[in-house]
Structure formats: C-alpha cells, structure tokens
Chains A and B, each alone.
Chain A
C-alpha cells in the first residue's frame, strides 16, 4: 500500500508542477494570441464588407 501512496504523491507533484508551468507559459502567449485573433477577425470583417 505504501507503494501506492508514494505513486500518488509523485503523480500529484509531477502533474501539478507541469500544469502550473504550463499556466505561466500560456498566460502571456495566450494574450498575444487574443490580440492576433481580433486583428484577423477585424480584417476578415472589413474585407467581407
């Protein structure tokens, strides 16, 4: 049973660690993507008009 407890402990450490690392990367790059998305949609709208 101690093997399972250790397994879950490390699964949580690795999972939580990689998730929050991902969050730190996604926040700035995601904001840049939003700016790009609005630019593309705005351009698409004016072209169609």
Chain B
C-alpha cells in the first residue's frame, strides 16, 4: 500500500461535497438581509453573546491554525502548547476586566482604524489602514496553500505511487548495470532514477495542492462577496459546530488508537527529545525570548488583529463584547493545543513506522524541511476510519472557510473604509462602499492565488504568521492602548509607532537559518515592540497635538 494512502472513501468526499454546497447556498440566501454598509460589514451590530463567541472562535481557528500548530507540535512537542495557555490567560483577563474591548464597542465603529481618526487624526487612520491591510494580506498569503496541503494529504490525494516508482527505478538500475564490471555505476544510476521518480511524485503532489487551493479560494470568494458579514456570521456558526465535531473526532482517535494513546506519545517524545519536548524554555526548545514575544503578541492580536477585533464591533453592546472574550477563552487554548496534539501524535506514529520514518528522515537529510506539513494530515487520514474521516474533513474545511471569509471581508472593509473613503473628497454611498469592497475581495483572492503558487512554505509557518502580524500589531497595540489610557498621546507619536512596525517586513525575506531560530525571532519580535513604544512616547512628547482630539464618531 502507498505510504500516502489514507482511509478516505467516496462517502467521505460526498460528506465534504454536501457541506460545501450547503455553505455556498446559505451564503447566497442571506444576501437578502443586507440593506446597508453596516449590515454588510458588521452584520448591523446585532450579534448576541453565543453567536459572537461561535463566530469569534471559528474565525480564530482556521485550517492554517491547525496546520501551523500541528507542524510546531510535530517539530517541538508539547512545549508549543504554552502559546495556547498564554492565549487562554489573556482571554480571561480581557473578558473579566473589559480592558479596551468595552471602549472599542462603545465607540460604534465599523473598522478598528476608525478609532484612530476619532482619537488622533485622519492621517493616522489612513496610515493604520494601509499598514493593517498590508500586514493582513501578507499574513493571509499562506492560508490557502496550507489548507490545500492538509486536504491533499488527509484525503490521500497525495498518493502518487512514489514508493513503488522509487523501488521500481532501483530494481531496473540494479538489473541493467553490470555489477562485476562497474560496481560504482549501479548505485549511482539507481539513485538517479529513484531521485527522478521522487521528483516527479513531488511535482504531482504540488500540482494537486495548487488545484485544491484554487477551488478553496473560489468557493470562499463566492459567498463572501455576495453575503458580506451576515453570511460570514451565519456560516461561521455552522462551521463552529462542524469544527468542534472535527476536532473531537481527530482527538479521540489520536488518544485511543492502540498504536498511540497519551502515555505512549509522551514516552516517545521523552525518549526522543527529553525535557526540551515539554519545557518551552529548556535549551533546545523555544527559549525565554520567543515565549515572551508570543505572550505580548497574543495580547496584541486579541485586541488589534482586525478579523478578531471586528468581533468586538459586531457585538450588540459593550457587555456582549466583554463576555465574548470571557466565554471564548477556553477556545484560545484549544485552537492551538488540539492541533498541536495532532502533530505530537503524528510524530509518535511516524517514529513507530519504518517506511514513514525513512521518508521523513530523508526529507531532513535532503534539507527539504521536516515534512511536518505532510505528516500531521497524513497520520490523521490513516487513524480516523472512513465515514468519520468525511465528518472530520468537513470540520477542517469549515475551519478553512470560516477564516477565509472573515479575513477577505475584514481587509477589504479596511481598504474601503479606512484608505479609499477618507482619501476621497466626496462621501461614498452605502452602495458604492459595498461595490468597492466586493471588488477588493476578488482582488485579494487573486493575490492569494499568485502568492500561494510562488512563495515556498517556510519550516515554521507559525513564525511567518507572527512576523507578518507584527508589521501591524507592534504599532497598533501601542497606539490603541496609549490612545485610550495616556492623555499626552499625539498623532505624531501614533504615526511614528505605526511606521516603526514596518521594521518587521524585511524579516519575512531573511534566510532560513535566521527565521528558523526561535531565539533570533523572539529577540527581533520583542525589539520591534520596544521600538514602537519608544517612538510613540518620544514623538508624542516632542510633537503634541495642538487641539483636543474629536470625540464624535468618525466619518469616512
């Protein structure tokens, strides 16, 4: 049997197909409830607590979250789950105090950068809009590719007959080469043919991933463009339910499989990596700098990352916004911990299967990465039985769709409301804003397709996400919190801090040895936050605002 074969059958594909068709129809049907730009962008600010929690968690738990957490789990072990613990702690803090989120909802905003116009100036709003959209779209760049990779390997679409082809190539070379005459030629010819067979198989799998990626983008675009935030919220609810089911099924089979189980998984990691697999600050694991950076980063993302912050804005009142964070806090742990456990279990599974261990060890030796992106979905596809695999896949595809739609709408809304509208002399009508937003959503979809085809997956997708997020979050966190709680905060300080966040852009393009180092990444991440704080304070002191900031609601 091919190593890349899984338990996926026609029944599983039918379940996924029914789900996808249903979600598109649902998205199209709710279009008739969209009457204004507020309906389109923030669902009329009418979402209750339970619905807001569902959509908040569905947005935060994308298939790319499952992938990068699974990859970190596969590469680093239990230690990665410290990020989930910090996320849950921060969610509890925001939910119990209402810090920032209550004030944001009370301001009746449509997008977060609108606050920057209320508190500072129009220039700050436009600058925040540009940087927010740049960071967000770059951050989203790997979503479709990662999602497509998961689907390809979990469903067995990655089956290419690679093992058989490599073995056949080796046999042919063995029989055709005159062993006695030229003993050194035979292994070289065999290796060459096997290498060619392997490269052909990799190319075939790449093509499959790219086709799946194109289909994913097309479906998400279709219902987001038509239904806006109403479609996003309703489909997010359905996706939340399916997602919980998918995570539950995956977790159950990882922990109850006779080959795995908690004790066996822990013992495998203990034997392989020792304490570094469990202790995040132990030498060989992440280290203090990385952990501290992630702590700050998680807080910043919860407050300022537009797709999640927009859940503060869709809540029907400030109290609902606060409760969303409080009740959603276990989800902040789960969204990283369960996928990490998938990766952790996949490592133990691979370690006990000689053919898989050989394949993934070969990837490391050829400097092709650890293969974590293939291993986790592949092992899930092998562990979960047919029928249930379809349900789990529907849950995972839900995770993919729920984040794509929210992100599409969010970044397009920011570009329309915070860049185009403020720069125009005449006010845009609701219809114009919705039309422009729809065009931008399609443009973002086109960009994602090109970026996904061109950009190679880094070893740590999590670091890529964190760095691209930093471009906006470093400055925005300082400007948002400083604006709310420091009277001397000025527009000049805000602009300087936002521009300071751009220091993270070059990191995306740095060589692999740098981006793979958690110590260097942690140091850079913390330094960028520190630079933004410094710029904000110094420029606010040197260039205070001449008049008091306006208190009325911002208008585009």
1/0 contact trace for A7-33 toward B, CB 8 Å?
Answer: 011011001101110110111011111
Q: Which residues of A from 31 to 46 have beta carbons under 8 Å from B?
A: 31-34, 36-38, 40-42, 44-45
Contact A38 B334 (CB under 8 A): no
Complex Cα gap A15–B39 (Å): 34
Contact B337 A26 (CB under 8 A): no
Please indicate the chain B residues that have their CB under 8 angstroms from the CB of A29 in the complex. 48-51
Contact B78 A15 (CB under 8 A): no
Instruction: Tell me the total A-B contact number using a CB cutoff of 8 A.
Output: 114
Q: Is B330 among interface residues, defined by CB-CB distance under 8 A?
A: yes
Residue ID in chain B nearest A21 by CB atoms? B330
1/0 contact trace for B228-256 toward A, CB 8 Å?
Answer: 00100110010011001000100100000
Known: A11-B337, A16-B251, A22-B330. A41 touches B244 (CB 8 A): no
Nearest CB in chain A: distance from B246 CB, A: 12
Contact B39 A41 (CB under 8 A): yes
Complex Cα gap A18–B92 (Å): 13
Please indicate the chain B residues that have their CB under 8 angstroms from the CB of A16 in the complex. 251, 334, 337-338
Task: Please give the number of chain B residues whose Cβ is less than 8 angstroms from any Cβ of chain A in the complex.
Answer: 47
Contact B240 A30 (CB under 8 A): yes
Complex Cα gap A29–B237 (Å): 11
Contact B46 A37 (CB under 8 A): yes
Please indicate the chain B residues that have their CB under 8 angstroms from the CB of A41 in the complex. 33-35, 39, 43-44, 46, 230
Nearest CB in chain B: distance from A25 CB, A: 7
Contact B240 A26 (CB under 8 A): yes
Q: Which of A4, A23, A26, A27 contacts B278 (CB 8 A)?
A: A4
Please indicate the chain A residues that have their CB under 8 angstroms from the CB of B278 in the complex. 1, 4-5, 8
Known: A1-B279, A9-B262, A30-B51. A40 touches B78 (CB 8 A): no
Complex Cα gap A35–B240 (Å): 17
Known: A5-B278, A38-B33. A22 touches B48 (CB 8 A): no
Complex Cα gap A33–B274 (Å): 48
Most buried by B among A16, A23, A27, A31: A23
Contact B43 A5 (CB under 8 A): no
Residue ID in chain B nearest A48 by CB atoms? B35
Contact A34 B51 (CB under 8 A): yes
Nearest CB in chain A: distance from B430 CB, A: 10
Complex Cα gap A40–B493 (Å): 41
Please indicate the chain B residues that have their CB under 8 angstroms from the CB of A45 in the complex. 33, 35, 39
Complex Cα gap A41–B330 (Å): 30
Contact B275 A34 (CB under 8 A): no
Q: Is B331 among interface residues, defined by CB-CB distance under 8 A?
A: yes
Contact A33 B48 (CB under 8 A): yes
Q: Is B84 among interface residues, defined by CB-CB distance under 8 A?
A: yes
Q: Which residues of B from 251 to 275 have beta carbons under 8 Å from A?
A: 251, 262, 266, 270, 274-275
Contact A44 B39 (CB under 8 A): yes
Q: Which of B50, B78, B251 contacts A25 (CB 8 A)?
A: B50
Nearest CB in chain A: distance from B41 CB, A: 13
Contact B51 A1 (CB under 8 A): no
Q: Which residues of B from 340 to 371 have beta carbons under 8 Å from A?
A: 341
Please indicate the chain A residues that have their CB under 8 angstroms from the CB of B289 in the complex. none
Known: A15-B330, A22-B53, A22-B327. A48 touches B36 (CB 8 A): yes
29 A-B pairs with C-beta separation under 8 A? A1-B274, A1-B279, A4-B78, A4-B279, A5-B78, A8-B81, A11-B337, A15-B334, A16-B251, A19-B331, A20-B248, A22-B327, A22-B330, A23-B241, A23-B244, A26-B240, A27-B241, A33-B51, A34-B233, A37-B46, A37-B51, A38-B33, A40-B46, A44-B35, A44-B36, A45-B33, A45-B35, A45-B39, A48-B35
Hey, which bits of chain B sit against chain A, CB under 8 A? 30, 33-36, 39, 43-44, 46-54, 78, 81, 84-85, 88, 230, 233-234, 237, 240-241, 244, 248, 251, 262, 266, 270, 274-275, 278-279, 327-328, 330-331, 333-334, 337-338, 341
Cβ-closest 3 pairs across A and B: A29-B50, A33-B51, A33-B48
Hey, which bits of chain A sit against chain B, CB under 8 A? 1, 4-5, 8-9, 11-12, 15-16, 18-20, 22-23, 25-27, 29-34, 36-38, 40-42, 44-45, 48-49
